[in-house]
Every structure is written in C-alpha cells, then in structure tokens.
Chain A
C-alpha cells in the first residue's frame, strides 16, 4: 500500500519550460489536492479536485493547470515555468473533504522544483 506517490521528487527547469507533476493515490479517495510550500509561507492550496473529472481553484492557482482524468491520478502542469514557481510541491488525498468528520488528508513526500 503506497499511499500517495509523487513523481518526480526533484526537478530543475529553465524559465519558460513546461512540465507536469504526477500524483497517484491507491486509497480510492475522492478528494485530491496540490499545495506549494515556500519558506515562511506555510502550505498554500493551488488546486483541488472533489472527484474524477472535476477541478477547482485554490488560494494560488495562477500559472498552474490541473487535470483529474482518472480517480487515482491528479496532474499539476506548469505551462511556462517562472522563477517564482520555485518551491516544494505537495500532493494530498482524502476520503472526504472540507470540514466533515474524518477528513484526514494523506500527503506525498513532495517534489522540489527549481526554476532557473
């Protein structure tokens, strides 16, 4: 049982390049999330999904796109990377969402992305 797996773990991009971060979960969770974490800023929600085929904007969605074509996968895309997108990205999933009981989110190990 792998839980939440993020690919890749590290990546260096040049400004203007594109890339896709993959998040896979094997817990049959409905909800999935992408966060970024920068020093002193805590975790900020980029996009989230409440089920297969759905996506929604979080706190800081600009410059990112997401897709949830399969229930177990949540992809985060950077179409034209910028140095401001240098960050650690975390993916998470949960069975339920929001403030409901038993909304326990499970996190991946993170992707460290550097844009030069």
Chain B
C-alpha cells in the first residue's frame, strides 16, 4: 500500500506560486501519482496525473523526481479561488485496484 504524507495546511497570498509536496516512499512500479482539488461543499475533481519527471496542464504542474518517492504539485500565481483542499493519491496496483485512498489532504488558504 502506497501511503502518502502531505502537509495538513498551507497559507499563501494572491499572485504567489504554491508548491505542495507529497511523500510516497512505498510507491509501486505501476502506480501513477494523481492530484485532486476539492472546493467547499463540492466533491473532489481531478487536476493532474503523472508517472515520472514533469507534467504540465492548464491548471498546474507536477514534478516527480527519478526515485518517485515524492511529488510536488505546483500552482502558478494563485488566486483566492484556488483556496481548496488538495489531495495526493497513489493508488494500489495489483489485486486491490479499486482501493482509491484519499487521506486528509492539504488545505490551502489563499489570502488577498
């Protein structure tokens, strides 16, 4: 089971770049790293996924070092609307493929 560890909370100001790091020391060879975003009173939504090196989309970038034991979600120039909880997931591969564990996530608060 690839357990993840991420900070409980982070504070930032509008216009800053925010980096949230997730540790996953027991990641399996076939596992992908996925990040979700959850706004208050809504279900989480997928924002980015990667396997190694760097992935970028219109919302965020994901940096994964060669050993894959950690990953960093980078949000460029955050705004107040980026205030949300961010979850790092590394799912189980093999037999328990439905065991999608979210954990507590990182609560990001963006201030004006």
Contacts and interface: CB of A to CB of B under 8 A. Distances in A.
Interface stretch (B11-19, B69-77, B92-100): B92-100
A100 interface: yes
B63 interface: no
Interface string B80-112: 000001010011111011111111110000000
B75 to A, nearest CB: 19
* B contact residues, range: 20 to 34
B104 A40 contact: yes
Contacts of A31: 97-98, 100
B105 A42 contact: yes
B105 to A, nearest CB: 5
A82 interface: no
Interface residues of A, number: 34
B30 interface: yes
A43 B97 contact: no
Given A35-B102, A99-B90, A110 B43 contact: yes
B42 interface: yes
A99 B92 contact: yes
Interface string A40-72: 111111001110000010110000000000000
A42 B91 contact: no
Nearest to B41: A110
A105 interface: yes
A40 B87 CA distance: 13
A44 B93 CA distance: 19
A44 B91 CA distance: 14
B28 interface: yes
Given A43-B44, A45-B101, A105-B46, 17 more contacts: A33-B98, A42-B87, A43-B87, A43-B105, A50-B98, A59-B101, A96-B97, A97-B91, A98-B96, A99-B32, A99-B93, A100-B91, A101-B51, A103-B32, A104-B34, A105-B36, A105-B100
Interface of A: 4, 31, 33, 35, 40-45, 48-50, 56, 58-59, 90, 92, 94, 96-110
Give 5 nearest A-B pairs by CB, closest first. A107-B43, A98-B97, A99-B31, A42-B104, A99-B91
